[in-house]
Amino acid sequence: MSSEEMLYAKGSKIWIPHAEEVWESATLLESYCKGACFLKLQTETGALTEIKLKKDGSDLPPLRNPAILVGQNDLTTLSYLHEPGVLYNLRVRFCERQIIYTYCGIILVAINPYADLPLYGPNIIRAYRGHAMGDLEPHIFALSEEAYTKLERENCNLSIIVSGESGAGKTVSAKYAMRYFAAVGGSESETQVERKVLASSPIMEAFGNAKTTRNDNSSRFGKFTKLLFTNKMGVMYLQGATMHTYLLEKSRVVYQAQGERNYHIFYQLCAARAKYPELVLEHQDSYQFLNMGGASDIERVSDADQFNETVQAMTVLGFSIQQIADIVKILAGILHLGNIEVSKKYKDGSDEEDTESCDIFQNDLHLQVTGDLLKINADDLRRWLLMRKIESVNEYVLIPNNIEMAMAARDALAKHIYAKLFQYIVGVLNKSLYNGSKQCSFIGVLDIYGFETFEVNSFEQFCINYANEKLQQQFNQHVFKLEQEEYLKEGITWTMIDFYDNQPCIDLIESRLGVLDLLDEECRMPKGNDENWAGKLVEKCSKYPHFEKPRFGTTSFFIKHFSDTVEYDVNGFLEKNRDTVSKELTNVMAQSNMLLCKQVMILEEVDTLSTDANKSTTTLGGRVVISANRKQQLNETRRRVVPSKQHKKTVGSQFQESLASLISTLHATTPHYVRCIKPNDDKIAFKWETAKIIQQLRACGVLETVRISAAGFPSRWLYPDFYMRYQLLAHRNQIDKNDMKQSCRNIVLKWIQDEDKYRFGNTQIFFRAGQVAYLEQVRANLRKKYITIVQSVVRRFIKRRRYLKLQAIVHGLQRYARGYMARMRAQKLREVRAALILSKYARGWLCRRRYLRLCHSVAGIQQYARGKLARNRFIAMRDHFRAVQIQRFVRGVLARRAYQKRRRSIIICQAAVRRFLARRQFKRMKAEAKTISHMENKYMGLENKIISMQQRIDELNRDNSNLKHKTSEISVLKMKLEMKKNLEQEFKTIKAACLDKDKLIEALNKQLESERDEKMQLLEENGHSQEAWAQQKQQWGMENEELRKQVDSMIEMAKNAEGNEREREERMLAEIDNKELNEAYQRAIKDKEVIENENYTLKEELSRFQQQHNGISAYDMRHTRSASNASSQNEDDVGYGSARNTLDINRSSDLMNKNDSFFDSTSIVVKLRSILEEEKQKHKSLLEQYMKLASRNKPTEDSFRTTCRTAGGGA
């Protein structure tokens, strides 16, 4: 049996193509036989199908990996390295296990989860610190730790290349890598250097990122950040950083597609416009440069908060307050520049439109604001937007711009200003991040755009895809080199691996008479255009196999890139490559009175990476780099001169040189690769779209890495691991535990006959693709055979033991069942006898209960029947009464209705008579109106109206003459307006004089403060008098205590008298009848309440008197019970002056004669009142003394003003 027949046996899992899911899993229903033309299989959905095969079996469907290998953290460890195996492994890890990182050899594949995961905290950083790559789960920190460890160990330069399409998470991955380096290169608590490195991210995101249809935070430029380290006592410390940018998308400043935004900083500035009123900003939808995409907001993102974070980061990185203010003004100036309205212009003396020119209103608000913000001459800006200058040898000519050309000049200026500002900000960041000290090595983090293809692809996509071609070539060479190094280290023979080389595609782009060369040549032509360039491409580049011309039309061309064939639209290529802006407009900006604007406009385009490479020596990280490309660059640098206007570098040539310097830097470093994958376009967490992901895997080189690995020996096993898993495949005499290497050789030689399928290395065994799966299948078959034998013996033992156990159980059950049945028969006999007795008594009880229930029912029925009859009689009587009432009311209604009818008829008759008399009167008046006297009276009124209208016309003529006189006075008023402007200047001088006066007022305030100190001394003297007053108050308190004791004793005596009185009343009331007894008792209760209220009021007056004395020395006034809030006091009995609370109480004359003790209590109350009056007199005298002291220390108006002014200054 061949290996194919063994692997493609019945029940094996395979992959078949699928229209939507790309690949679908299926199960073989029949074993494969060599030479078969069909394979019957069943898909996971249950569908039966057949696939055609070639007779040689070369197109057999790919096999699924064994279950033990599914979900591996390294794709290269899979037994079957093919596209569906890689895709399924990533899907299991991402969707089922929610793991976003996976290794693919030297590549870290990162899938964007579109969710916040707790994977990047300080604890995670500490967990990965010091562990080799592969010890823990794949992570961006593991890759960063590998790079940092290599930096410490070998002291060499390294790089981390992060790539992927927009929205895949490149910026986030690069940010976390730099965070890890900042943490391990310094300390977990950020130092100044680490803070600056991390603070650069929000600034670059604000000025270089924008929302696209694929990503809310898409980087619209490439960035290579070099983190500089220095060696201190064997430990690498982060010393600083430098940043290099590539190909900023300037066209986004003036144009955004539907659903996209401009750069974040513009929207952040509009959200924070309240902080900068001098910018005259409005809502972001009011600006033409910001409202094109119709998506001005991002969900769950606050532009105002992002702006605060950006300003804070700029402060950390050394931007001064003035620099930040100037940068904000330049950004606002760009927005106002975009709102300058270019209108039509008409020929002089006619309404005909002048198509060769245009106009901008001089009083255009945005034009004036732009001039004020950028501190430039608004008239010069308007002039050169409307005109262009063409220079010749000895003269120049001014030519007007039409509307399209003026708007293009405006947009070009906006793009130029923003690009220069971005370059300036990057320069400031580099100065702040790099302190100039000598560094030992660096780790570069490259965050660059991935391969892009859209419905319409222009110059930006061409440059991006060109950069990806160069990076893919560097990646392929590096992967191939690592494979060769691995084979050499293990000491095995190897043959050249064939891999895809994209050098022909790169030659098509950058060689002589290639795409870029022809583009630059066409840009130098005076009348070059896109169509001519497209024709030259078809003529010169058709010899390249990677170039295709379109079937129809000449406005596009095709290039076969390594990942896909892309169609480029030539419209706009020349304009974007020239990147021309009017020299006169740049001069206007360079003459600005704003220092920052002037500095920004004179910046030159400098390739900072090439500059750094030229400064450094050829020895990088302890290794000598010799490169022909490098030598060529040095020669070009020597020949390079400052470009003139005629030989200004194009964008394509600048990008080509920057890219060459970047590739040269990457070749001189040890690269690590991060490939970011975007799982879906809907930005839904952990949603998997197979077609989109497989396209990205092909584009970013993951599948190419898998293919290169599969072309060699992708499956590698250490000898101990291989021995532990596959030792059962060899006979016992072939196994030597002391020599695992020879044992592994015996196992492999026994089962794999083809020597080309494996190699024995020094520490590992190398297998071709599929061989490990073959060994797994053999191992599974042997295990199945041995397990079947073991199962048969075990099953016999289990069945016999079960039989013996069942036999013993059955005997026991029979014994217990017979005893149980005998007991049940005896129990049944006892129960029958007992049932007869119970039934006898039960029948008697049921009969008695039935009889009693029947009697109760009959009595109830009679009761309800009698009630029903009585209710019926009542209802009949009630209905008769109501019928009589209804008849009475109906007769009344009928009588009133007849009366109303007769009354209505009489009114109608009267109306008819009156109408007849009115008509006769009308006819008589109509005849009189036709007489001559009546007409004269009518026309007399018309003559009066004509005279009044003539007078009105005269008045209007006089008003018109007055208005003409006032128009002549307008010029005089204009002169007065100029005089008012001069008065405004004088007002400013007066304002300065006011400032001097304010300083004088401050001096006077200080003098008032000294006077306030004197006042404080007087207050201290008042404090001493208050202490004396407190002592006097304490003495009065003691006297009040004595008075309170006397009052308590009097109250006790009154209570005793009341007790004696009650005894007398009881004896006396016994002789009176019940009515008089109750009245006397009520009067006694009222007398008692009156006495208690008087005593309680006396106590309250004494306590209130004491609290009033306390209130003189302290302002803590406590709540006291008074006549308005006393809960136990009657509303009628309030105050001592009330007659109801004194001696005039309505009592019975008999009781007054008999109760002598009551008069004793009344006399006591009189005495208490006299004492209270004396206390009131004392209280009055104390209040007078207090008022004298208060008036003596009363603050004057001057001191009050000083105090208020001091309080205002403190606030």
By mean pLDDT, which of 189-193, 312-316, 591-595 is the weakest?
189-193
Q: What's the confidence (pLDDT) of residue 837?
A: 92
Instruction: Report the DSSP pairing between strands 218-219 and 209-210.
Output: antiparallel
Average pLDDT over residues 820-844: 92
Mean pLDDT along residues 793-803? 93
Give whichever of 248-257, 695-704, 793-802 has the largest mean pLDDT: 793-802
Q: Find the angle CA(518)-CA(522)-CA(523) to the nearest 5 degrees.
A: 115
The predicted structure's pLDDT at residue 647: 45
Mean predicted confidence (pLDDT) in 866-890: 93
Q: How many helices (H) and strands (E) does the chain have?
A: 33, 23
Mean of the pLDDT values across residues 183-191? 61
Q: Count CB neighbours of 828 within 10 A.
A: 9
From 417, 382, 375, select the one nearest 592 (Cα to Cα). 375
Each residue's pLDDT tens digit, 904-919: 999 999 999 999 999 9
Of these ranges, 384-398, 428-442, 805-819, the one predicted with the greatest mean pLDDT is: 805-819
Write down the pLDDT at residue 334.
93
294-317 pLDDT tens trace: 888 888 888 999 999 999 999 988
Give the three-class secondary structure for 390. strand
Q: Considering only 200-214, 763-777, 792-806, which range has the smallest mean pLDDT? A: 763-777
**Mean pLDDT value of segment 1086-1112:** 62
Is 608 within 8 Å of 429 (Cβ atoms)?
Answer: no
C-alpha–C-alpha distance, residues 1194 and 1197, integer Å? 10
Q: Write phi, then psi, for 197 (nearest 5 degrees).
A: -65, -45
Please name the residues in contact with 316: beta carbons below 8 A apart, sequence gap of 6 or more. 195, 196, 199
Q: Confirm whether pTM is higher than 0.85.
A: no
pLDDT at 857 over 90: yes
What DSSP character marks residue 496?
A: P
Q: What is the mean pLDDT of residues 157-185?
A: 84
Average pLDDT over residues 935-947: 68
Of the candidates 451, 480, 484, 485, the one whose C-alpha atom is nearest the C-alpha of residue 468 is: 451
Sign of the CA dihedral running 267, 270, 276, 278: positive
**Tokens of residue 728, six digits:** 């059962």
pLDDT at 630: 36
| Residue 769: per-residue pLDDT | 64
Measured in whole angstroms, the distance separating CA 480 from the mean position of its chain's CA atoms is: 44
Structure tokens at 705: 């890495």
Given a cut of 60, whether residue 1070 has pLDDT beyond it is no
Distance CA(625)–CA(612), nearest Å, equals 16
Closest CA to 612 of 230, 224, 238, 239: 224
Q: In this model, does residue 79 exceed pLDDT 80?
A: no
Q: Which residue has the higher pLDDT, 822 or 5?
A: 822
pLDDT at residue 1131, as a whole number: 37
pLDDT band at 192 (very low <50, low <70, confident <90, very high): low
More confident residue, 276 or 960: 276
Q: How far is 244 from 446, CA to CA, in rounded Å?
A: 9
How far is it, in rounded angstroms, from Cα 276 to Cα 281? Answer: 8
pLDDT of residue 805: 93
698 has a pLDDT exceeding 70: yes
Mean pLDDT of the chain: 79
Give the Cα separation of 514 and 505 in Å (integer): 10
SS (H, E, C) 905-948: HHHHHHHHHHHHHHHHHHHHHHHHHCCHHHHHHHHHHHHHHHHH
Please say if the pLDDT value at position 1112 is more than 50. no
Residue 477 has pLDDT above 70, yes or no: yes
Non-local (6+) Cβ contacts of 709 within 8 A are 76, 81, 105, 483
| Phi, psi torsion values for 210, nearest 5 degrees | -155, 165
The pLDDT assigned to 854 comes to 94
Task: Give the residue, 125 or 352, on which the prediction is more confident.
Answer: 125
Res. 985: pLDDT tops 90: no
* pLDDT tens digit sequence for 963-979: 877 777 787 787 888 88
Apex 731 CA angle, 730 and 732, nearest 5 = 120
Q: 92-101, 490-499, 603-612: lowest mean pLDDT where? A: 603-612
pLDDT, average across residues 75-94: 85
Q: List the single range of 347-356, 531-540, 794-803, 1022-1031 with lowest mean pLDDT.
A: 347-356
Instruction: Round to whole Å and give the CA distance between 974 and 186.
Output: 69
Mean pLDDT of 546-550: 87
